[in-house]
């Protein structure tokens, strides 16, 4: 057989497989539409039907990864199914998702990573606006950054939970790569724009390569890229999406000080999420101002052998030098092992608020 004949044979095989895949995807979409009809049929009168089910989506993705035999890597396969589910859900209900903008931010990337491309993403100027959009019902869900592995907590996000009725219904992590980008790489650099978090994540690289150059913190990396696109003497530190959006030249790629630089984002919504089998719970507690108070808060976790994934301290709203602890731990509030722990916490804590139980990030 000639090269052309061999290729022709293989391409015919691919065409035939594609036809089957396409047929099956449409069959899947029909099932998803039927699921919507069933959800509607059993909804109580006046009840808002909830089509999006984060726990089920997490299970679908975990199953895809568990049964995958390659040669495609588990994560690539799961990403394909992420998109298929996203399109299927859009047939049931097109979701509106508010994210911390502007266009081109890592938060937007996180929103797409979590929900897929079939959702309508709406850019917001602040974390408070994301919360407001979801609280008012203008958006179904919101996406906000909560912590970075290099720079730590995003305080605005944690503080938003003090006064909000929203719940955490998901988390998503994103590896963050920063690039130094310019409109005109020939011009000398007079100033470098970025978000304060990103300047912090590239501090050592900047000290080494641009020690005397002014660093200016802006509201977002995308805004930094936009400014750099207008000013020839300026550079921006931002991600690839922002470079594309503002047509900047990447002069130095991956300049983050730590190669594993990762940001965790929260999905906030108005509905509680059922257990997916592998979940996390976020709560906020404040301890009484007395000896051993924090110990009392942490003891129930230790007794039950529950692993805390994070503890963060913030000034409480109840008075000067009072503190609130934001605690994340493994398990769902409905789990047999978690229920008594939460009951005990409510007894010992001065203040207690459950922020949500949600599937651990899959992708
Ligand atoms: C089909 C369903 O509805 C939605 C679509 C899903 C899918 O395409 O697999 C999964 C969960 C829901 O977000 C369902 O609840 O099973």
What percentage of the chain exceeds 90 in pLDDT?
86
pLDDT digits (tens, 9 = 90+) for 128-139: 999 999 999 999
Distance 356 CA to ligand 1 centre (A): 20
Distance 334 CA to ligand 1 centre (A): 21
Distance 77 CA to ligand 1 centre (A): 18
Band of residue 46 on the pLDDT scale cut at 50, 70, 90: confident
Nearest residue to 161 (alpha-carbon basis) of 360, 334, 326: 326
What is the average per-residue pLDDT within 179-195?
A: 95
Q: Whose CA is nearest to atom 10 of ligand 1?
A: 57
Mean of all residue pLDDT scores within the chain: 95
Nearest residue to 166 (alpha-carbon basis) of 292, 250, 284: 284
What is the average per-residue pLDDT within 291-307?
A: 91
Distance 157 CA to ligand 1 centre (A): 28
pLDDT of residue 290: 80
- Contacts for 346 with CB less than 8 Å, ≥ 6 apart: 352
Cβ of 57 less than 6 Å from ligand 1: yes
Distance 55 CA to ligand 1 centre (A): 9
The CA distance from 56 to 62, in Å, is: 10
Domain 54-175: give its CATH code.
3.40.190.10
What is the average per-residue pLDDT within 45-52?
A: 88
Q: Whose CA is nearest to atom 15 of ligand 1?
A: 53
Q: What distances in angstroms separate CA 6 from CA 10, 12, 15, 17, 246, one per listed residue?
A: 6, 10, 14, 17, 44
ipTM tops 0.95: yes
Fold category of 179-260 in CATH? D-Maltodextrin-Binding Protein; domain 2 (3.40.190)
Q: Whose CA is nearest to atom 13 of ligand 1?
A: 52
The CA distance from 190 to 111, in Å, is: 34
Q: Where are the domains of the chain?
A: 54-175, 179-260, 272-359
Whether the domain at 54-175 and the domain at 179-260 fall into the same CATH topology: yes
pTM recorded for the entire structure:
0.93
Coil, strand or helix at 117 = coil
Cβ of 56 less than 6 Å from ligand 1: yes
pLDDT of residue 319: 72
Cβ of 39 less than 6 Å from ligand 1: no
Q: Whose CA is nearest to atom 8 of ligand 1?
A: 85
CATH 3.30.70.260, domain 272-359, yes or no: yes
Label residues 46-74 b or e (16+ Cβ within 10 Å = b).
eeeeebbbbbebbbbbbebeeebeeeeeb
Cβ of 141 less than 6 Å from ligand 1: no
Closest atom of ligand 1 to 84 CA is: 8
Cβ of 55 less than 6 Å from ligand 1: no
Distance 88 CA to ligand 1 centre (A): 7
Cβ of 92 less than 6 Å from ligand 1: yes
């Amino acid at each position: 057989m000639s090269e052309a004949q061999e290729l022709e044979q293989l391409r015919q095989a691919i065409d035939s497989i594609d036809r089957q895949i396409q047929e099956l995807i449409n069959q899947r979409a029909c099932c998803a539409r039927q699921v919507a009809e069933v959800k509607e049929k059993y909804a109580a009168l006046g009840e808002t039907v909830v089509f999006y089910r984060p726990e089920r989506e997490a299970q679908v993705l975990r199953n895809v990864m568990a049964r995958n035999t390659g040669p495609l890597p588990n994560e690539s396969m799961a990403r394909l199914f992420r998109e298929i589910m996203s399109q299927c859900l859009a047939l049931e209900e097109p979701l509106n998702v508010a994210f911390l903008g502007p266009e081109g931010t890592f938060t937007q990337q996180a929103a797409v990573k979590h929900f897929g491309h079939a959702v309508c993403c709406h850019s917001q100027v602040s974390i408070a606006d994301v919360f407001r959009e979801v609280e008012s019902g203008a958006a179904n869900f919101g996406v906000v950054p909560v912590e970075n592995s290099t720079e730590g907590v995003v305080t605005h996000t944690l503080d938003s939970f003090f006064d909000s009725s929203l719940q955490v219904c998901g988390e998503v992590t994103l590896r963050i790569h920063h690039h130094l980008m310019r409109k005109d790489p020939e011009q000398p650099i007079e100033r470098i724009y970025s978000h304060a978090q990103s300047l912090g994540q590239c501090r050592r690289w900047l000290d080494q390569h641009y020690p005397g150059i002014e660093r200016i913190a802006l509201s977002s990396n995308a805004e930094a890229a936009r400014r750099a696109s207008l000013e020839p003497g300026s550079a921006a530190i931002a991600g690839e999406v922002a470079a594309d959006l503002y047509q900047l030249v990447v002069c130095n790629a991956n300049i983050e000080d730590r190669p594993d630089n990762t940001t965790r984002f929260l999905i906030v919504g108005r509905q509680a999420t059922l257990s997916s089998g592998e979940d996390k719970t976020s709560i906020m507690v404040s301890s009484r101002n007395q000896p051993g108070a924090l110990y009392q808060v942490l003891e129930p976790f230790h007794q039950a052998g529950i692993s805390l994934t994070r503890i963060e301290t913030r000034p409480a709203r109840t008075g000067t030098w009072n503190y609130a602890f934001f605690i994340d731990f493994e398990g769902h509030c409905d789990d047999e092992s978690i229920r008594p722990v939460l009951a005990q916490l409510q007894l010992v804590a001065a203040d207690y608020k459950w922020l949500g139980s949600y599937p651990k990030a899959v992708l």
